[in-house]
A = this chain, B = another copy of it.
Amino acid sequence: MSKNNLHLLKIIVMTLSKAEENYLKAIFKIAEKENKSVSTNAIARHLNTTAASVTDMLRKLSEKELITYEKYKGVSLSTSGNKMATNLIRRHRLWEVFLVNKLRFAWHQVHDIAEELEHIYSEELIARLDAFLDYPKFDPHGDPIPNAEGKFTIRNQTALAELFAGQNGIVLGVKDSRDDFLKYLTDMHIKLGSAIKIQKITHFDKSMHITIDERTEAVISHQVAMNLLVRIQ
């Protein structure tokens, strides 16, 4: 076997530690929002650690050619790093679907558990889980689940706040998936698939008077409406 082939083998066989995986995921997520190379500080903030620790890890990930890193210039994922991060997101979201659809967890309870489950590495496990869940394209928060090749499904979705009085929307997901927001939605009986009809918008504060699933009347703030994603009917 030539030296080149050995190099290839190394990449294929490489398995990452939980910490390394979490860094890749963090870089992916930050890069997704801010459209530029990712700063050391941003990663430290995201992972609740120090800039010094981040620098250490960046050196390591760079050696493994998972990121492109130049001192003081921020990082971006390499092709293989991107693949790894996408795969992690796939695993995370599939487990979330499992926890909600099969184990009947509530929206807001699943993130931390999925965070653990995603680090279990087995191609076959994920393939079988995917099949068991019937190849879901979106997770319980409405975020797209990349397929085995890393392709995300895209769909039209609009913040509820964009709609006018009289319009209808079907809830597809949320922009903010923090616990308290998800709990608030659950309390309001708003869930994935709920039909929202805008009855009236108060111009003063842009709060909306809505009907949920043709049953419940409610008033929601502009902030809530901005974080609810719907398909316009």
Residues of A bordering B, CB below 8 Å:
99, 102-105, 109, 112-113, 116-117, 120, 122, 124-125, 128-129, 132
Contact A120 to B116, CB < 8 A, known contacts A102-B132, A132-B102, A132-B103: yes
Shortest distance between the CB of A135 and any CB in chain B (Å): 14
Give the contacting residue for A103; candidates B109, B113, B117, B129; CB below 8 A: B129
A97 to B: closest C-beta gap in Å = 14
* B132 close to A109 (CB less than 8 A): no
18 contacts between A and B (CB under 8 A): A99-B125, A102-B132, A103-B125, A103-B128, A103-B129, A103-B132, A104-B128, A105-B124, A105-B128, A109-B124, A112-B122, A113-B120, A113-B122, A113-B125, A116-B120, A116-B122, A117-B117, A117-B120
Inter-chain CA distance A120–B124, complex, in Å, is 19
Q: In the complex, what distance in Å separates the CA atom of A117 from the CA atom of B122?
A: 11
How far is it, in angstroms, between the C-alpha of A99 and the C-alpha of B122 when the chains are bound?
A: 12
B-chain residues with CB within 8 Å of residue A103 when the two chains form the complex: 125, 128-129, 132
Docked CA distance A116–B104 (Å): 22
Chain B residues, Cβ within 8 Å of A125: 99, 103, 113
Docked Cα-Cα span, A102 to B117, in Å, equals 17
B-chain residues with CB within 8 Å of residue A105 when the two chains form the complex: 124, 128
The smallest beta-carbon distance between A117 and chain B, in angstroms, is 6
Contacts of A102 in B (CB 8 A): 132
User: Known contacts A104-B128, A105-B128; can you find 16 more A-B pairs with CB under 8 A?
Assistant: A99-B125, A102-B132, A103-B125, A103-B128, A103-B129, A103-B132, A105-B124, A109-B124, A112-B122, A113-B120, A113-B122, A113-B125, A116-B120, A116-B122, A117-B117, A117-B120
Please give the distance in Å from A99's CB to the nearest CB on chain B: 8
CA of A128 to CA of B122 in the docked complex: distance in angstroms?
23
